[in-house]
Amino acid sequence: MKYAIQVTNGTIMPGLLMNVIKNISAIDETEEINVVIFGPAVVSLLHHSMLKEQLRAVLTDKVNIFVCRNAMNMFGLKDEDVPDYVKVVPAGVEKVAKLSKEGSAYIVL
């Protein structure tokens, strides 16, 4: 099973996202977890050092983190603000739509 987790809320609680990733990772059938961060949540990710550290800690070969270039541009964020384990995509909503079309279970936080 593959999962697409949409994170757009700028006040995302780091513990919630970490728990979701850990719990889904524990399911035997989990093949892939794709966390797509866009909208105001991009600012939270790129300026919240604890969140960045926690995301790095839960990374496995099953977990992918994506951040939206459109949101980065909207909030004046640069590529050097993005942690090395995060992939930048042109549009977060487009990435979520593609993952959903490919059969990923869709979760919104």
Maximum alpha-carbon separation in the chain = 40
DSSP 75-87: TT--GGGS-TTEE
Residue 37 belongs to some domain of the structure: yes
Residue 94 belongs to some domain of the structure: no
Instruction: Give the whole-angstrom CA distance, residue 102 versus residue 109.
Output: 20
Encode pLDDT of 13-29 as tens digits: 777 888 899 999 999 99
Residue 95 belongs to some domain of the structure: no
CATH of the domain at 55: 3.40.1260.10
Encode pLDDT of 89-106 as tens digits: 999 999 999 999 999 999
Residue 91 belongs to some domain of the structure: no
Q: Counting Cβ atoms within 10 Å, is residue 32 exposed (0-12), middle (13-18) or buried (19+)?
A: middle
Residue with tokens 């919104």: 108
Range of the domain at 9: 2-86+102-108
* Number of domains, the chain: 1
Residue 97 belongs to some domain of the structure: no
pTM of the model: 0.93
